[in-house]
Chains A and B, each alone.
Chain A
Amino acid sequence: MNEKTEKLIDKKGIRLDGRKADELRPVKLEVGVLPNADGSAYIEHGKNKILVGVFGPREVHPKHLSRPDRMVIRCRYHMAPFSVPERKSPAPSRREVELGKVIKESLEPALFTELYPRTGLDVFIEVLQADGGTRCASITAAALAIADSGIPMRDLVVACAAGKVEDTVVVDLYDAEDKLGAADVPVAYMPNLNAVTLLQMDGTLSPDEFEKAVSMAMDGCKKIYALQKEALKTKYMNVKEEIKEENEE
């Protein structure tokens, strides 16, 4: 077995990066950062840096992929070669393909796909720097990018993971905890509808621990949701502030 010189969480309940069990990494969100995309958003979650651009609803090419009764959603999750310590080949890996699928399935419940038959929505996720929890951060940013594009949504989708390190269930694992910990449970959630749209787990958890992890992840989701709303509003509030200042001059 690999020797761990430091424990991932100490007796006082402090993790290697200084956080407590229920503490999130800092999150920074920005909406409308790509002028060519119909909608876009950028997230920094801990050391994760992820950019999302969306295009649509628009005609689907090739045409045989379109559905006569709804908008189809295509999601590409891609990691930049320089995003991880060992350079990653730019070719899509099996992990990236699976993530594209589960992320799409986490966003689709929020969309009124029946309103735009025969069209497609393309969601492009580029992970510029990865440090654990990229699928959750990607979902959080993708939902904002979709809202930014003006596509109607049932609710914003927000995501956060929880897991187990040593014997403690903790929220928001970063890379080291993800790799060396006992379990990782990413959750995506629509808070106003109480709907879980993504749920995965790898590792080993007792049924009770699993329940606790899901619950902690949802608490994390609710905190990040507040930041999402703020980021969306900020774009428009700034204009209001600028005008106020101009008038006061």
Chain B
Amino acid sequence: MSSLITKVRQKQIGQTVDTGKRLDGRSLNEYREIKIEQGLIEKAEGSARILLGKTQVLVGVKVGTGEPFPDTPNEGVMTVNAELVPLASPTFEPGPPDENSIELARIVDRGIRESKAIDTEKLVIEPGKKVFVVFVDVYVLNHDGNLIDASALAAVSALLNTKMPNYEIKDGEVKIKQGYTPLPLRSRPITITIGKINDKLIVDPWLEEEQVMDARISMAINDEGNICAVQKGLSGYFTPQQIIEASKLAQEKATQLRKTLKW
């Protein structure tokens, strides 16, 4: 994914970062403004839309029923899919998910799965036979940088908003009843993405910065402050010292965001 960015602009961004600030006025470790709205898609069991600066991501959660995986008969299923919808950016083309949308989905998935946010054992209807399947669909509506954090935050917000249909088992058959129960969430993982420009670490890169940065690292942090997912991206590299620096920065920002979001 590369938008056109002029060499002059690239230089500007780099020079500003060197002075410890960014072109949009933020400091190196400042996030853009975050606005989250929940429950806007009534036909979905859960939904949330996030605005991270101008990046806009909508996540819809659908809950269906199905068979469990053969090796985990006592666990429900969660699956995450992401779409870089063509209207979100001139660089997104229509078609099946490409490697960028697959990577995005899998990073969001790991943050939720590895933090054990969803207690999949509570999703079992009939052990070995029928379980709830939670479909998390990430829909990027406007790309202005840092799709990873926006998608991850929106996904957790949507899950917080998700209601599972009530059911009863009558005569060996599963019947959906009236009413809903909130999906039990054990953890609210927060993903922090850090980019590297001119060997300086910046938090929450926006679209133009993404064209200039040479490497990126995302870390998902759970309620206890433990790391449950890490993904380095782009074609540059980090020194081991920079990785430790990034890890400390990610923990700091996750704690701050957790307070702001009241998670």
Contacts and interface: CB of A to CB of B under 8 A. Distances in A.
Interface residues of A, number: 33
Contact of B232 (A98, A108, A200): A200
Interface string A204-243: 1111001100110010000000000000000000000000
A104 B115 CA distance: 28
Contact of B239 (A100, A104, A196, A210): A196
Interface in A65-99: 94-95, 97-98
A145 interface: no
Given A195-B239, A202-B110, A207 B251 contact: yes
Contacts of B240: 194, 196, 214-215, 218
A217 to B, nearest CB: 10
A98 B230 contact: no
Given A94-B106, A202-B110, A197 B228 contact: no
A204 B227 contact: yes
Contacts of A210: 227, 230, 247
Given A94-B105, A97-B99, A211-B247, A201 B237 contact: no
Nearest to B219: A201
Contact of A101 (B103, B113, B228): B103
A199 B227 contact: no
Mostly helix, strand, loop or mixed at chain A's interface?
Answer: helix
Contacts of B229: 201-202
Nearest to B222: A204
A102 B216 CA distance: 12
Interface of B: 97, 99-100, 102-103, 105-106, 110, 113-116, 217, 222, 225-240, 243-244, 247-248, 251
Mostly helix, strand, loop or mixed at chain B's interface?
Answer: mixed
A204 B222 CA distance: 9
A98 B102 contact: yes
B236 A109 contact: yes
A196 B105 contact: no
B195 to A, nearest CB: 14
A154 to B, nearest CB: 10
A104 B116 CA distance: 30
Contacts of B105: 94
B230 A201 contact: yes
A190 B240 CA distance: 11
A3 B257 CA distance: 38
Given A207-B247, A211-B244, A196 B238 contact: yes
A96 B87 CA distance: 27
Given A203-B114, A204-B114, A198 B232 contact: yes
A200 B102 contact: no
A185 interface: yes
A213 to B, nearest CB: 10
A105 B247 contact: no
20 contacts: A94-B102, A98-B99, A98-B102, A101-B102, A104-B235, A109-B236, A109-B237, A194-B240, A195-B239, A196-B243, A201-B229, A202-B114, A204-B115, A204-B116, A204-B227, A207-B225, A210-B247, A211-B247, A214-B240, A215-B240
B227 A196 contact: no
A199 B238 contact: yes
